[in-house]
Structure 1
Amino acid sequence: MNQYDVAVIGSGPGGYVAAIRCAQLGMKTAIVEKYSTLGGTCLNVGCIPSKALLDSSHHYEDAVKHFEEHGIEIPGEIRVNLEKMIGRKQAVVDQTTKGIQFLMDKNKIDVYQGMGSFQDATHIAIAGEKEEVVIEAKNTIIATGSKPATLPFITIDKERIITSTEALKLKEIPKHMVIIGGGVIGLELGQVYRRLGAEVSVIEYMDRIIPGMDAALSKELMKVLKKQKVKFYLSHKVKSVERKGDEVVIKADDKKGKEISFSGDYCLVSVGRRPYTDGLNAEAAGVKMDERGRVEVNDHLQTSAANIYAIGDVVRGAMLAHKAEEEGTMVAEILAGQKPHIDYNLIPGVVYTWPEVAAVGKTEEELKEAGVAYKSGQFPMRALGRSRASMDVDGFIKILADKETDEVLGVHMIGARCADLIAEAVTAMEFRASAEDIARMSHAHPTYAEAVKEAALAATEDRALHV
C-alpha cells in the first residue's frame, strides 16, 4: 500500500494548487481524480471553455458590427462555423489540462485516476476503470468542488433542457435560448449565443441580475445587455419546465402572481451550483456536513476529523476558482507549520461578459446596512481617450471609501478589461490604501486603468479631472 503525507481528492484549481504547494514544501503527495483529465470543472467545463467561447463570439460580433467602422472591409458574408468554434474551445481545454499533468509530473505528485472514497480517516479507496487501489494518507484535503444545481421540478435531459456543461458543446446555434437564472454563468453563456444570433431571454427570481454584486453594476450590465437585445424577466418565479419535442415550455409567475409562458428550443438552467461530495463516504472518516451539503470546516479549513481539510466549492464561501487556489495554498502551508491567512473580503468577483464586471470589498448596500459612513467616487469609461479609441465606452468605476479615514472599502467596476483592472483595487485594499493614495499614483495614459485613478479622485473631495 502506497503511503503519503498528503492526499488531495479532486484536481480542480483548489486541488491541484494544494498538491503543488504540498510538494514544494517537501511532502510526499498524491492527487485523486475521478475523471480522465485533470483540472476539475474550471478547466474542463467551466472558466476556461466559457472564456474561449466568449472570446470567439466577441471576435465574430466585432467582425459583423464594428470592423467597417474601423475601416476594415470583408468581402462576402461573415458566417459562424460553430463546430470549428467549439473545436477551438476544446483545443484550449486540452492544452490547459495537459499543462496540469505536466505540473504533477514536474512536482513528483502521484496521480490516481478513479473515484476516491474514505474507508476511514487515513485510508482512501480509489475505484478505477479496471481495479480498486487503496492508499494511506497522514493528511487529506477534500477538493471535490461543485456541480450545476437545478430546481426540484426540473428534469435536465442534457439535450434541450441543459446546464452550463452542455451549453459549452451545442451542435447548433439555438433559435431561442431561455435562461433560468440571471447570475454569472447564465449571463456569460447567454451573451455567447446572443452574439451568434440566438434570441435570448433571462428569467430571474430576484429583482435584479447578478444579485450578489453592487446594485449599480446590476443596473448598468442590464442596460448594456438590453441594448444587445437580451430580454429580461425579473422577479419571476419559475414553476414548471416541460419539453415537447424540440420545444421547451417554461411557466413562471411574475411579481403580481400572473402566469407567464415562455417557449424556446433550448432552456439553460443556471440557478447556481451545489457542493459535490457524492461517493466520498465522508462519514466513514468522521467528516461532518452542514444542512446545505457542504463540508463543515473551522477557520483553518480543518474538518471535524483533525487530519482532514476541505477547500473550494465544497466548503462555505464564494464558489470561485481563485478562492479555492488561495485555500489550497493555505492548507498546504498550515500542514507545513506555517501561519498563512486569507482575507475573504478581498477575494474579487468577476463576470466575463463584455463589458466585464468586477468587484472587491463591500457593496454600497452592505455599507448602508452596517451603518458605515462612506463616500463614493465614480468615473464613466466613456470619458477615457482609451475607451473612445477602442469603442468600448460602456460602464464606470466606483470607489467607496470610509468617510473619516478615506480607506478604500469597496471597488465596483464595469467596462473593458475590468477583470484585469480589479487586481489594482485588490492590491490597494490589501495594503489598506486610501482613495487619495490611489489618486496620487501615476497611471499610464491612455489606458483603461486611468478610470481607477479618476474614481479615486472623485472619492477624494470630488475632484475627478476629466468629467
Structure 2
Amino acid sequence: LNLAEVPKSVVVIGAGVIGLELGSVWARLGTKVEVVEYADAVLGGMDADLGKEMRKVLKKHLKFGFHLNHMVTSVTSDKKGVKVTAKSRKNDKEMTLEADYCLIAIGRKPYTDQLGLENAGVKVDDRGRIETNSHLETNVEGVFAIGDVVKGAMLAHKAEEEGTYVAEYMVGQHPHINYNLIPGVVYTWPEVAAVGKTEEELKEAGTPIKVGKFPFRALGRARASGDVDGFVKVIAHKETDEVLGVHMIGARVADIIAEAVVAMEYRASAEDISRISHAHPTFTEAVKEAALAATDNRPLHM
C-alpha cells in the first residue's frame, strides 16, 4: 500500500480473500497478477461454487494467472525484482515466476504480543488469541476482549457485534450473537458475499438439502448495466425448507447479503423469501429467483 508507482507485475501468494482483493486492485490499474495457491481452489472456506466463478471471472476480465496446487519453495529478491519458485503438488514439477513485487497473503494472526497482557495476567492460546468465556470475558474478571484478538472471523462487523454484546452484558442485559449469521464479504469486483453454511459443510454433516441458483445474467437490471457475471445460491433444508445458507457473487452483493441475513435470523423458508415482492428491475430480484429455484425449481425468469 506504500508503493509510489503501479508495478508492472506482482506475484500473490495465497488465493484467499486478501490476496484476491489486493491482487484485483493492482490488476485494474494495469498490473499483471499471478496467484500461487497451495490448495486446489480459490477462496478456501467459502462455498466451492463461489471460488469457481471468481476464478473464471478474474481470468476473463483481469487476465489473472492462477497456479493452484502449488507449494512455494523460495522467494528471493534483488534490485530487479523478485523470483518466486513453487513446486506442483501433483507432479513435483518446479516453476519460477518473476515480478516487480511479491505479496504474501497466506493468513493473519492477532497482534497481542505487544499489549502487555502478561502484566495483567490475561491468558492467550497457542495462536496468540485472547481466551474468553461465552460472555467474551477473559480469565481476569472485568477484562473483556473482542474482534481480531479473539477467536473467530477477523471482520469489522463481527467486532462491532461483540462490542455491543459486551456493553449490553455489562449493564445487566442478556445479549446474544449468532456467529453463524455474521456475513462474510470479499471486496473484489464482482463482489462475493455469504452467510450460513456452505453446501460442502451441509453435505459433510449429512444434512438433507436442496439448492437453488439464479444467474445475474438473466436479470434485466444486470444486463442494462453490463454486470452479468455471478449468481445467487440459496441452500434450504430438504424437509423443512428452512434456509441454511445463501452464497452470492455479483454486482452489489455486499449490500444484498443483508436480505439473506434478516431472513435467516427469523428462520425463513425458501418459500417465504420467494413470496416477498422485490422491486423490478433490481439486482435483489436474484435472491427471490434463487429462492424460487430452491422451492420446487420454479424460478420465473429462467
TM above 0.5: yes
The amino acid across from 1:250 in the alignment is V
Q: Distance in 2 between matches of 1:454 and 1:169?
A: 43
Q: Distance in 2 between matches of 1:246 and 1:185?
A: 26
Alpha-carbon distance, 1:278 to partner:
2.6
Task: Check conservation: 2:113, 2:128, Cα contact below 8 A.
Answer: no
Aligned to 1:213: 46
Aligned to 1:244: 78
Q: Distance in 2 between matches of 1:208 and 1:301?
A: 34
The amino acid across from 2:268 in the alignment is A
Task: Give the fraction of aligned pairs with identical amino acids, expressed as a percent.
Answer: 67
Q: Distance in 1 between matches of 2:93 and 2:131?
A: 41
Residues 55-79 of structure 1: CA deviation (Å, up to 9, x unaligned): xxxxxxxxxxxxxxxxxxxxxxxxx
Q: Which has the higher contact order (CA 8 A, sep 6+)?
A: 1
What is the root-mean-square deviation of aligned Cα atoms in Å? 0.8
Aligned to 1:133: none
Q: Distance in 2 between matches of 1:206 and 1:296?
A: 30
Task: Check conservation: 2:81, 2:99, Cα contact below 8 A.
Answer: yes
Q: Distance in 2 between matches of 1:280 and 1:220?
A: 41
1:279 and 2:87 matched: no
1:184 and 2:12 matched: no
Alpha-carbon distance, 1:465 to partner:
0.7
1:422 and 2:257 matched: yes
After superposition, residues 1-80 of structure 1 pair within 5 angstroms as none
**Higher alpha-carbon deviation: 204-213 or 218-227:** 204-213
Alpha-carbon distance, 1:279 to partner:
2.1
1:315 and 2:157 matched: no
Q: Distance in 1 between matches of 2:139 and 2:119?
A: 12
Aligned to 2:34: 201
Alpha-carbon distance, 1:252 to partner:
1.2
Alpha-carbon distance, 1:239 to partner:
1.8
Aligned to 1:146: none
The amino acid across from 1:405 in the alignment is T
Q: Distance in 2 between matches of 1:257 and 1:421?
A: 43
Give the number of aligned pairs: 300
Aligned to 1:301: 136
Instruction: Give the secondary structure class of the aligned counterpart of 2:233.
Output: strand
Within the candidate set 125, 142, 147, 1:290 is matched to 125
The amino acid across from 2:37 in the alignment is E
Aligned to 2:238: 403
Task: Check conservation: 2:131, 2:139, Cα contact below 8 A.
Answer: yes
Instruction: Give the secondary structure class of the aligned counterpart of 1:456.
Output: helix
Alpha-carbon distance, 1:337 to partner:
1.0
Instruction: Give the secondary structure class of the aligned counterpart of 1:310.
Output: coil
Q: Distance in 1 between matches of 2:33 and 2:149?
A: 31
Instruction: Give the TM-score, by structure 2 length.
Output: 0.98
Instruction: Give the secondary structure class of the aligned counterpart of 2:157.
Output: helix
Task: Check conservation: 2:82, 2:102, Cα contact below 8 A.
Answer: yes
Q: Distance in 1 between matches of 2:149 and 2:40?
A: 28
Within the candidate set 150, 161, 166, 1:326 is matched to 161
After superposition, residues 415-454 of structure 1 pair within 5 angstroms as 415-454=250-289
Aligned to 1:231: 65
The amino acid across from 2:216 in the alignment is M
1:389 and 2:224 matched: yes
Q: Distance in 2 between matches of 1:192 and 1:284?
A: 41
The amino acid across from 1:169 in the alignment is N
Q: Distance in 1 between matches of 2:7 and 2:104?
A: 15
Q: Distance in 2 between matches of 1:465 and 1:183?
A: 34
Aligned to 1:140: none
Aligned to 2:3: 170
Instruction: Name segments (4+ residues, structure 1) moved above 3 Å.
Output: none
Instruction: Give the TM-score, by structure 1 length.
Output: 0.64
Alpha-carbon distance, 1:245 to partner:
1.2
Within the candidate set 364, 367, 374, 2:202 is matched to 367
Q: Distance in 2 between matches of 1:432 and 1:422?
A: 15
Q: Distance in 1 between matches of 2:12 and 2:245?
A: 30
Q: Which runs of 5+ in 1 are unaligned?
A: 1-167
Residues 154-202 of structure 1: CA deviation (Å, up to 9, x unaligned): xxxxxxxxxxxxxx23211111100011111111111111111111001
